[in-house]
Chain A
């Protein structure tokens, strides 16, 4: 039998039982759609997190106070368990390292801001002029913090876009005096609105000089030190030298943790990639179930069309012809199901993107290809058994059935 005839025969056979065909196509398409949508979600989450991390800045090396836990309990730790604080001088000492372009100390706390009788709770970031370029923030108006001695903070502030609109409405903000905690500060700049960022919402942030923030919170410690390496290649050496310098300054004790943005990024990337893979695996189970359904449908078809199979044999069909006809039918069911499911899945991902515009819910190519080919392969694989059964039928017995 010619290929086109086999396909047409299979198509007509499938169309002959519309409800059964529609149900198995539906099952297959739900399976494929599940793979597409779930991986779109998983991969969207990965892209979202990676994107957020990248927006922190480029070539970043971040210093955290305290040792991140490795190893078990150590008696030495019990004695010297309090880590030495990170200080402004620690940060300043990193400025001179080779391979380091910028350094910004960061002290964080919450406080109140008031202007013209309006009062609200805010997040205060104490840092230096370098902070804004390191974090890739942009200014909408005015300028950033002044270049000055880090230990002598002038009374200025850069405020977030939302704070600006809440406090000043349509009036100019630059040059106005605001009250933060017990200090009166002059607004020198307004940040551009960036929306949601990881950890910090810059729209509701007030940036002040680091020493001012420390006296505001009455502490000498830093929350982080941000170091920007001069390029991607110098990140490892910048990290090593940062660690060495701080260790030396802390009397040989390695009581800080230095992480690179790359490492964090890679970890999240890997983590969420694995998650996506796992989710795809779960969705693939529904594909296997759909494959079994196709097999069931084909087994019923063989039983129902026993008389027809007997007739085909009497008319000179070889076992191969009959096998191919039934395989083609199974393949068709799963292929149509796969295509419908792909379209449904893309539609679902599109809907997700419409409802959550910040969330890049695009199904990854590998998932689409894997989903479609799993659908086809399971359809074919589960079609083999019914097809063989059809081809093996005894023509005399088969013809006696109507």
Chain B
């Protein structure tokens, strides 16, 4: 069973009196544990696809199955629960809450989910350690460097141990060196079995993914192909 199964997805936007087909008849399958880069020019539908995968947006037609379950028909609250437990987001502009400390930002998904404070504290402490942010726990976002901010954001995206991480230009606001660090972090997560979908303009970053989707005008222009399951198994079996 594929982690993500999109069939005949349509997403239209009304801009004035013209209808824009952001996604037109999209079919896509992504297996658990894959590392997929979505590329394409601006307006090709990359972001729309990512929003759809993250249940932030609904298609006008077609079905989206996440872990075999049709999620397009879920109520907004049920979708919120799916987002909370199965999906992690990493944004280009980090989207940290400025008045909360690094630790509080990382804890935010658990806070929203109602996890008890004691457990939150323990898991945040571990995350801070894993992401090398031990001595930054009580810093506000504006006291952190860009790389540190994105690490906080990634820690936040993974704190609920999601199956899927959606990253929208995660290195877009970072210099080359820190961008490299962030990509390494994301790839390390993928190596531990988390499915990673990255939207990027950067061909270098796209090339590092094991599967490249190139979009144009709401359609898949090219797909480097579903990775061989046996290879995937070998990769994800790697320590």
Contact = CB atoms under 8 A, between A and B. Distances in A.
Contacts of B113: 1, 316
Nearest to A400: B47
A307 B89 CA distance: 14
A396 interface: yes
B83 A314 contact: yes
B99 A313 contact: no
A68 B35 CA distance: 100
A40 B98 CA distance: 45
B51 A13 contact: no
A318 interface: yes
Nearest to A317: B112
B56 interface: yes
Contacts of A9: 111
A377 interface: no
A320 B108 CA distance: 16
Interface hub of A4, A316, A402 (most chain B Cβ within 10 A): A316
Contacts of A12: 99-100
Given A308-B97, A316-B109, A1 B114 contact: yes
Nearest to A315: B109
B29 interface: no
B87 to A, nearest CB: 8
A395 interface: yes
Contacts of A311: 95, 97
B149 interface: no
A310 B111 CA distance: 16
Interface hub of B56, B85, B99, B112 (most chain A Cβ within 10 A): B112
Contacts of B77: 318-320
Interface in A1-38: 1-2, 4-5, 9, 12-13, 15-16
A206 B80 CA distance: 87
A399 B100 contact: no
Interface string B91-123: 101010111100000001101111011000000
A312 B116 CA distance: 18
A317 B57 CA distance: 15
A316 B108 CA distance: 10
B95 A307 contact: yes
Interface in A293-351: 307-308, 310-321
A311 B141 CA distance: 15
Interface string B150-171: 0000001000100000000000
Contacts of A396: 51, 56-57
B56 A312 contact: no
B112 A321 contact: yes
B76 A315 contact: no
Interface in A202-258: none
A394 to B, nearest CB: 8
Q: Chain A binding site: helix, strand, loop or mixed by DSSP? A: helix
B54 interface: yes
A320 B76 CA distance: 11
A399 B108 CA distance: 16
B128 to A, nearest CB: 18
A4 B111 CA distance: 10
Contacts of A15: 99
Nearest to A392: B76
Given A313-B56, A399-B91, A13 B84 contact: no
B81 interface: yes
A316 B74 CA distance: 14
A401 to B, nearest CB: 11
A314 B111 contact: no
A310 B89 CA distance: 12
Contact of A316 (B57, B83, B100): B83
Nearest to A314: B89
Contacts of A315: 83-84, 89, 108-109, 112, 156
Contacts of A5: 111, 114, 117
Given A308-B97, A311-B97, A402-B93, A395 B112 contact: no
Contacts of A312: 108, 112
Contacts of B95: 307, 310-311, 314, 399
Given A313-B56, A314-B56, A396-B57, A1 B112 contact: yes
Contacts of B160: 316
Nearest to A3: B114
Contacts of A317: 80, 84, 112
Interface in A96-140: none
Given A15-B99, A317-B80, A399-B95, 10 more contacts: A1-B112, A2-B114, A12-B100, A313-B56, A315-B112, A316-B81, A316-B84, A316-B113, A316-B160, A399-B56
Q: Which 9 pairs between the two chains have the least Cβ-Cβ distance?
A: A316-B84, A16-B99, A395-B56, A316-B83, A318-B80, A315-B109, A311-B95, A317-B112, A318-B77
25 contacts: A1-B113, A1-B114, A2-B111, A5-B114, A5-B117, A9-B111, A13-B99, A16-B99, A307-B95, A308-B97, A310-B95, A312-B112, A313-B83, A314-B54, A314-B83, A314-B89, A315-B156, A316-B81, A316-B160, A317-B84, A317-B112, A319-B76, A320-B77, A396-B57, A399-B95
